[in-house]
Amino acid sequence: MSASRRALLGAALGAPCFGAAAAAAAADPFEDDPFQSSAWPDMKREFLGRESRVVFDDRVTVLGPGFAEDPMNVPISVRVRGLDGVEQLSVLVDRNPIRKVLDYFPRVALPGLAFRFKLEQTSPVRAAARTTDGVWHVGGTRVESTGGGCTVAGVTRRDGSWSETLGQASARLFPSSPVLGDAAARLRLHVMHPMDTGLVAGIPAFYLNQLSLQDADGRELARLASFEPVSENPVFSFDFAAAPRGPLAIVGSDNNGNRIRLEVR
């Protein structure tokens, strides 16, 4: 099937949609890309590794709105089902000026999360799951947008209130997950931070860049590296096969060295 025919077929069926044939290794990353994105070959080399094996896999799904009504707060949920040994999840946006949104290392947590991010223009939004054999399994969806999410100052930056709430955090552990039901517990974390991209004149990049979730024994349950495109005052949701033993500790920092520490009981 020609590349143009595949593009038309993908548009007709909608995204995400990766058939069994698309789960084969990509000899030509542009030719086999379900979104036929000219940015993908460079993204694959930069973020997944020039020599890494990359497959498009419908076991990795990205759920998001068809149209982003608020490009500064686009809700995204990443799910991985039926794929064992996931060590890392990376979320990438083809047409953002800063393409990497976050890296997630689930450790004990389930390989999936929900959050909001800034979208500069209509783009594929991808999640890449690296398994223990070094293979990246990629899924995605396309989100339409009027754009501008990365190049506009956030609300708390505009009204000046960010300095009063910086680093304040809250979290709650729920006995079930809206995604997996009673089969999982969900931790919801909210951190107050302006998450400046550095793309607004006079406002340098200032963002939460690392979070670690630890159980009562100090064991790391999950680790998150976030970048500028994550939305202002971010909210992250993590799922667990069983509620972890508390009290839990959440520790983190931003790129200016400000510290975050929170205990969840």
- Check: CB of residue 43 under 8 Å from CB of residue 99: yes
Q: What is the pLDDT of residue 13?
A: 35
Count CB-CB contacts under 10 A for residue 160: 8
Residues 227-242 have pLDDT tens digits of: 999 999 999 999 999 8
**pLDDT-based confidence at 28, cuts 50/70/90?**
low
Stated pTM of the model? 0.87
Tens of pLDDT, residue by residue over 105-163, are: 999 999 999 999 999 999 999 999 999 999 999 999 999 999 899 999 999 999 999 99
pLDDT reported for residue 95: 98
Nearest to 11 by CA among 30, 47, 37: 37
Q: How confident is the model at residue 4 (pLDDT cuts 50, 70, 90)?
A: very low
Q: What is the mean pLDDT of residues 235-260?
A: 94
In which domain, by residue range, is 77 found? 3-264
Q: How many domains does the chain have?
A: 1
Alpha helices (H) in the chain, listed in sequence order: 3-13, 40-43, 155-159, 162-165
Residue 221 has pLDDT above 90, yes or no: yes
96, two tokens? 């953002």
Summarize pLDDT for 85-112 with one digit per residue, the tens.
999 999 999 999 999 999 999 999 999 9
Q: Which amino acid is at 101?
A: V
> Is pLDDT above 60 for 77?
yes
ω before 244 within 30° of 0 (cis)? no
Query: Would you state the pLDDT for residue 244?
Result: 86
Average pLDDT over residues 37-66: 96
Q: What is the pLDDT of residue 71?
A: 97
CATH code at position 187? 2.60.40.2470
Q: How far apart are CA 141 and CA 49, in angstroms?
A: 22
- Round the average pLDDT of the chain to a whole number and report it: 89
> Among residues 260, 72, 227, 256, which one has the least CA distance to residue 157?
72
Banded model confidence at residue 21, pLDDT cuts 50, 70, 90:
very low
State the Cα–Cα distance between residues 155 and 162, nearest whole angstrom. 9
